Structure 1
Amino acid sequence: MNLAELSDDDLRAHVAAELARTRQRSAELTDSVDDEDLVRQHSPLMSPLVWDLAHVGSQEELWLVRDVGGREAIRPDIDDLYDAFQHARADRPQLPLLGPAEARDYVGTVREKVFDLLERTPLEGRRLVDRAFAFGMIVQHEQQHDETMLATHQLRSGPPALSAEPPPSDVDVLPPEVFVPGGTFTMGTSTEPWALDNERPAHEVHVDDFYLDTTPVTNGQYLAFMDAGGYDDPRWWSEAGWAHRQRADLRAPRFWQRDGDRWSRRRFGHLEPVPEAEPVVHVSFHEAEAYAAWAGKRLPTEQEWEKAARFDPASGRSRRYPWGDDDPRPEHANLGQRHLRPAPAGAYRAGAAPCGARQLIGDVWEWTATDFLPYPGFAAFPYREYSEVFFGPEYKVLRGGSFGTDRAACRGTFRNWDYPIRRQIFAGFRCARTPRAEERR
């Protein structure tokens, strides 16, 4: 959907629908467990679910009710409690947080005021409201926390609380790699109305010829690395990666366990054999980098990933998505928690990129070799704490979204980032390589 071309009435209707759709997902993630589960911290890496719920309401109040709407504060007394920079996740259970019923009442009150001001707010004249940017920012923020809450569900113990249909099983037999010709392309965006600051501005980037895995690395391929002793051989690991592997005693992707002579995995309360055809998930950057070295390859740079995902050689332009400019539909990609697992490698032929690569959007976030840094001409907007304070070599860029990422929070330009040791996120990878001398075209 081209938001820039919608009338104000149609844009307001779209915003209202997105806000409602997003809140329904938040409700499903929090209503599926009891109050005791909502206030429990399932991992020091994550907040209690009830903190995430009230936090999305607090951000909605700050940006839409107070800033955009200019209205009186609803709960100024809780601003610090739900400021993500004030309290580490491990410390949040000890805070005087809103209980489940109070949190639900609070987010409901905020939303009522937001729907009212949506009807009254001019959608132009101020950058924060132009083409409903602030509303789109809040939709994306809540969807990002929904994915975080989904990761918390994966970390919780006990019987399954969520259910979903399996992903499509029809796959194509594909070549292992695709060739991506070098050249200049437009990276990032200056025109996407709801794009966030780190995706901006559009700028020209040159990449050399490279080969890219057609699909993400699968569990079966990763098992071959494990069976070959990959976790025990420092040749494949960076110095930092090997140190972390030893310190954390890494031996397999997170949530895997040995089951006799086979491997099983725990997935949202289910224990099941590891499905070899699915993309591997819950691996760190260090593990991805080690596998790539063992395979005689490397991780793609962020620039290579985006060229493969967006550049259309027939038109010479960068698309919004691998398949074109249309918003994602179910036949394009595994997004939005429709399925609680990645689809088998080779699925989603309608979502193929011009280069032939599959599943660049959805299924698993893909680690890249690139540090999270600003683009040339970057300007923080509307606040430094979204992107700018994270720039630097401590974080690696992930691209493409996962099965838990919503379509509103995933574009061909969307950038995610995390510490290279993180494994609770729905992250996998694919490999790239530089052409050998005899392959140069």
Structure 2
Amino acid sequence: MRAPSTTGHADGEQLRDHIAAELARARSRTALLTEVVDDADLMRQHSPLMSPLVWDLAHVGNQEELWLVRDVGGREPVRCDIDELYDAFKQPRRDRPALPLLPPAEARAYLGTVRDKVHDLLEAVSFTERPLVADGFAFGMIVQHEQQHDETMLATHQLRSGPAVLHAAPPPEPSARVGGSVLVPAGAFTMGTDIDPWALDNERPAHVVDLPAYVIDAAPVSNGQYAEFIADGGYTDPRWWSAAGWAYRVEAQLAAPLHWQPDSDGWAYRRFGRTERVRSDEPVVHVCFHEAQAYAAWAGKRLPTEAEWEKAARWDPATGRSRRYPWGDDDPTDAHANLGQRHLRPAPVGAYPAGASPLGVHQLIGDVWEWTSTPLRGHPGFTAFPYREYSEVFFGDEHRVLRGGSFGTDRSACRGTFRNWDYPIRRQIFSGFRCARDAHPDESHR
């Protein structure tokens, strides 16, 4: 359910219960990701692109202390001596293994102490109109922060060597035939939000965007479709690539998505310690923006803009209203989307018909983060809150926006307005894409 309103005593108690449950749910996932490996593995850096897992572990506790214990609660610091160690802006990921990090047992004890203080605070806090605490925003921000780091730790698990330590049931099999593309009619829609109580600053404010008609794929690009691009020489033909993309392809010697390995008659994939055949109907994952852009050019299409993605995901042609999710305003259930590490892979195309948009666009939420062509900017009227470093410092041409969440994204950090971003060369994230194109004149008048 959505974070409850805080009008009245009963609703205030409902909000406290909701926050407590969300905090516990996030911490349970953090524990799972950090308790399945030994201390040496927690302290090890598995890739220079990622932190040691133990850094993420203590970092989520430090952010919880900074924002909830100290700022919201106005209470004495628990460990102000470690603030700089766990400042993501002061400590680049590649340098973190050399820092005097808290060892695992000490990190876990620190998280427990902070959480005890937060529980005490939650019993006493008044959800006033102070923006940081209204509707429990600061608590929601911390829940989302921890879940985002849990997804980051899941990506670290994908990069680690050794036997499998994570286990999950396979996603559902397809129950709908999905293919082709969908026409999105010309017209205005409301992008962003003013009403979602835990929406972050870059999702705000709501504003009207008027788009010409366009066509968008009904599903993310699949492994089978992407394998056709590879087989057709897509990685060796510079005409499909931007200048920056081709330069990176050559420099990094890209020849297939990350973790793909040639098999006897196709491709295999190393996933969380297991090697298996690439399944043709799964959305392709672990491709960078440049690869997605090259595939789209090869297919005679392009990547959607961020506004096009959001209109396809939220706009209801029957009412003209923008929903929270493709299926409506209610939070995702297991029938709607592949989220929350419930499965350790994208679900095959057609597995979630209940999650489709009114126009018939499928799997916009969950499975794979979807690259868009849009650089990260603030919406018109953007105001940084509660600190510039959450998103404003990343605005510019260096980052591209991704939308929709992945199988590793929690529902608390994924909605129709949620915005992710990364460098165009990033492939360790759970990133895929779908294509779009301009509508032809005869299509746009249907």
Higher mean displacement: 395-404 or 427-436: 427-436
1:208 aligns with 212
2:177 counterpart of 1:173: yes
2:268 aligns with 264
SS in 2 for 1:186: strand
- Once the two structures are superposed, what CA deviation does each residue of 1:42-86 show, in whole Å capped at 9, x if it has no partner? 000000000000000000000000000000001000000000001
Distance in 2 (CA, whole Å) between partners of 1:59 and 1:435 is 46
The equivalent position to 1:164 in structure 2, one of 162, 168, 180, is 168
Pairing of 1:87-102 with structure 2 (within 5 A): 87-102=91-106
Pairing of 1:122-201 with structure 2 (within 5 A): 122-201=126-205
1:24 aligns with 28
Pairing of 1:208-247 with structure 2 (within 5 A): 208-247=212-251
CA contact (8 A) 1:187 1:204 kept: yes
CA contact (8 A) 2:323 2:329 kept: yes
- CA root-mean-square deviation: 0.8
Distance in 2 (CA, whole Å) between partners of 1:365 and 1:175 is 19
The equivalent position to 1:374 in structure 2, one of 350, 374, 378, is 378
- Following superposition, the deviation at residue 174 of structure 1 comes to 2.4
Q: Percent identity?
A: 70
Distance in 2 (CA, whole Å) between partners of 1:161 and 1:155 is 13
Pairing of 1:65-80 with structure 2 (within 5 A): 65-80=69-84
2:428 counterpart of 1:428: no
- Following superposition, the deviation at residue 124 of structure 1 comes to 1.2
2:368 counterpart of 1:364: yes
Query: Which structure 1 segments of 5+ residues have no match?
Result: none
2:300 aligns with 296
2:416 aligns with 412
- Once the two structures are superposed, what CA deviation does each residue of 1:372-427 show, in whole Å capped at 9, x if it has no partner? 00110000000000000000000000000000000000010000000000000000
Equivalent position amino acid for 2:305 in 1: T
Distance in 2 (CA, whole Å) between partners of 1:125 and 1:235 is 55
Query: Which structure 2 segments of 5+ residues have no match?
Result: none
CA contact (8 A) 1:264 1:273 kept: yes
SS in 2 for 1:211: strand
2:350 aligns with 346
CA contact (8 A) 1:171 1:345 kept: no
Distance in 1 (CA, whole Å) between partners of 2:311 and 2:374 is 14
Equivalent position amino acid for 1:233 in 2: D
Distance in 1 (CA, whole Å) between partners of 2:389 and 2:66 is 14
Distance in 2 (CA, whole Å) between partners of 1:174 and 1:317 is 25
Distance in 1 (CA, whole Å) between partners of 2:273 and 2:318 is 46
Equivalent position amino acid for 2:104 in 1: P
SS in 2 for 1:45: coil
2:107 aligns with 103
- Following superposition, the deviation at residue 171 of structure 1 comes to 2.8
Distance in 1 (CA, whole Å) between partners of 2:401 and 2:112 is 34
Equivalent position amino acid for 2:171 in 1: P
- Following superposition, the deviation at residue 266 of structure 1 comes to 0.4
- Following superposition, the deviation at residue 355 of structure 1 comes to 1.1
- Once the two structures are superposed, what CA deviation does each residue of 1:272-298 show, in whole Å capped at 9, x if it has no partner? 111111000000000000000000000
- Following superposition, the deviation at residue 197 of structure 1 comes to 0.2
The equivalent position to 2:252 in structure 1, one of 248, 257, 264, is 248
The equivalent position to 1:285 in structure 2, one of 265, 289, 314, is 289
Equivalent position amino acid for 1:338 in 2: R
Distance in 2 (CA, whole Å) between partners of 1:71 and 1:430 is 47
2:3 counterpart of 1:3: yes
SS in 2 for 1:317: coil
- Following superposition, the deviation at residue 139 of structure 1 comes to 0.1
Distance in 2 (CA, whole Å) between partners of 1:248 and 1:381 is 37
Q: How many residues align?
A: 441
SS in 2 for 1:416: strand
Distance in 1 (CA, whole Å) between partners of 2:179 and 2:161 is 39
1:335 aligns with 339
2:399 counterpart of 1:395: yes
Distance in 2 (CA, whole Å) between partners of 1:437 and 1:9 is 55
TM-score (norm 1): 0.99
2:124 aligns with 120
Distance in 2 (CA, whole Å) between partners of 1:66 and 1:354 is 45
SS in 2 for 1:393: coil
CA contact (8 A) 2:339 2:407 kept: yes
CA contact (8 A) 1:166 1:340 kept: yes
1:274 aligns with 278
- Following superposition, the deviation at residue 4 of structure 1 comes to 4.7
Distance in 1 (CA, whole Å) between partners of 2:33 and 2:116 is 21
Higher mean displacement: 39-48 or 172-181: 172-181
Equivalent position amino acid for 2:299 in 1: A
Distance in 1 (CA, whole Å) between partners of 2:125 and 2:287 is 44
SS in 2 for 1:420: coil
- Once the two structures are superposed, what CA deviation does each residue of 1:340-377 show, in whole Å capped at 9, x if it has no partner? 00000111011010110000000000000000001100
The equivalent position to 2:45 in structure 1, one of 34, 41, 47, is 41
Equivalent position amino acid for 1:431 in 2: C
1:439 aligns with 443
Distance in 1 (CA, whole Å) between partners of 2:199 and 2:185 is 27
Q: 1:79 to 1:436 in 2, by over 3 A?
A: same
CA contact (8 A) 2:185 2:444 kept: no
